[in-house]
Amino acid sequence: MTKAIPLSIPSINGNEWKYIKECLDSGWVSSVGGYVGKFESIVAGYLGVKYAVATTSGTAALHLSLLACGIGRGDEVIVPALTFIAPVNAVRYCGAEPVFVDCDKKTLCMDVEKVEAFFKEHTIRSKAGSCINRKTKKRIKAIIPVHIFGHPVQIRRLVKVCKKFSIKIIEDAAESLGSSCSGGKTGTFGTLGCLSFNGNKIVTTGGGGMVVTNDAALAGRIRHLATQAKRDELEYDHDEIGYNYRLSNIQSAMGVAQLEMLKSHIDIKRKNAVLYRDLLSSIDDVSFLWEMPWARSNFWLYTIRVPKKDKQPLLGHLLSHGIQVRPIWRLINTLPMYRRCQANDVIAAKEAHGTCLNLPSSVGIKERDIAYVADAVKGYFKL
């Protein structure tokens, strides 16, 4: 009988049932309830930031962050070509335009060296101090580095680069909760950090997100926008266009329970990464993406690189064995709604799309299932 091994499913083995039942028993099930504030407080404490605002999704967190930073029509935001589409769509929600940059070959994260080169070669400073794109004549106001598959961007170097050019950093740490870079946790280096608690993440609320920051004014504005821009608790008094981006008490209760398991989840993910790497090490045509010496990854998704000619056949082979694998994302700048946007030297991203696959990565995957996956890969390469 063929096995069925999913790509990434949640691990629900803690106090989820208990805390959610408390919400149901008390009647506090919507966005008002004690677990919302508790969830925010625990995340802020874990990351070492002053403020956290829970949202309905990671995409909502990105949208609110861009709005709070004043991103709008006529502005541009630097984004990776290789990423899940959410951060790029959020830029468009604000009426701004994305400018695509390449990834680092080893980590698949935004290539900071190429970002710096772009600023030096393709931008000028206005009299007001703004960073202007030479080609489009538009203001570049922000950058969204994405910590791909849990591995950190070279974020400390990026902070230095962006400071030179007056660019705000909105970190997309949706995939990297618990990962760190040079002693700091991802999501805490930029002006704002955005998290996701989607069903496939290392901590899940079924669907949810959060913005984290040390800036009180930005945190207050994000909370205001997320609650329909309501400025009076009693009266229906709204001072601008707002959004219903509030996370529910039930989801927050689940998040609190999940966070209690975060350390053990990361320990398991890292242990399984070593096992995968060791089992696949005998295959010359397969390389397992590993963390850099300056980084500590939560290994949210395990990723292999294979020869381009083998990517699609191997994917089909593994799927036929009940192993849910996925190609990495199609480059965003190749999608119909973004083809006309500026894309700068995305050679490494193209190569990664043509050669990389994600393997089953659930926290609850068994060692025997990892061995089964490795044997199936070996079987394809006739080992």
Instruction: Let me know whether 32 and 124 are in one domain.
Output: yes
Instruction: Let me know whether 112 and 144 are in one domain.
Output: yes
Boundary residue ending a domain (197, 227, 259): 259
The reported pLDDT for the residue numbered 124 is 96
Boundary residue ending a domain (259, 279, 299): 259
Boundary residue ending a domain (259, 291, 323): 259
According to DSSP H, which parts of the chain are helical? Answer: 16-26, 34-47, 58-68, 86-93, 112-122, 155-164, 216-226, 249-259, 262-280, 308-320, 347-355, 367-380
Dist CA 359 CA 248 (whole Å) = 32
Instruction: Let me know whether 150 and 61 are in one domain.
Output: yes
Summarised one tens digit per residue, pLDDT across range 241-254 is 999 999 999 999 99
Structure tokens at 364: 């609850």
The reported pLDDT for the residue numbered 1 is 44
Instruction: Let me know whether 255 and 287 are in one domain.
Output: no
CATH number at residue 315: 3.90.1150.10
Q: Assess contact for 369 and 325: CB atoms under 8 A.
A: no
User: CB-based contacts of 268: which residues, under 8 Å, 6+ apart?
Assistant: 363
Instruction: Let me know whether 155 and 220 are in one domain.
Output: yes
Dist CA 343 CA 170 (whole Å) = 20
Structure tokens at 161: 């680069």
Instruction: Let me know whether 170 and 300 are in one domain.
Output: no
Instruction: Let me know whether 88 and 120 are in one domain.
Output: yes
Number of Cα atoms under 13 Å in the Cβ half of residue 92 = 9
Per the structure, the complete domain to which residue 169 belongs is given by: 16-259
Dist CA 164 CA 60 (whole Å) = 29
The reported pLDDT for the residue numbered 194 is 98
Instruction: Let me know whether 304 and 245 are in one domain.
Output: no
This prediction's pTM: 0.96
Query: Which own/partner contact pairs does 303-310 have at CB distance under 8 Å and 24+ positions apart?
Result: 303/108, 303/149, 303/328, 303/356, 303/357, 303/358, 303/359, 304/280, 304/356, 304/357, 304/359, 304/377, 305/352, 305/355, 305/356, 306/355, 306/356, 306/357, 307/355, 308/354, 308/355, 310/285, 310/380, 310/381
Instruction: Let me know whether 145 and 172 are in one domain.
Output: yes
- The reply to whether 3 falls in a domain is no
At residue 9's C-alpha, the angle toward residues 8 and 10, to 5°, is 130
SS3 state of residue 256: helix
The reported pLDDT for the residue numbered 2 is 63
Mean pLDDT in runs of 10 for the chain (383 residues)? Answer: 85 96 91 93 98 98 98 97 98 98 98 97 92 96 98 97 96 98 95 97 97 98 96 87 96 98 98 98 97 97 98 97 97 98 95 98 97 97 83
Displacement of CA 233 from its chain's centroid (Å): 33
Q: How many separate domains does the chain show?
A: 2
Instruction: Let me know whether 141 and 95 are in one domain.
Output: yes
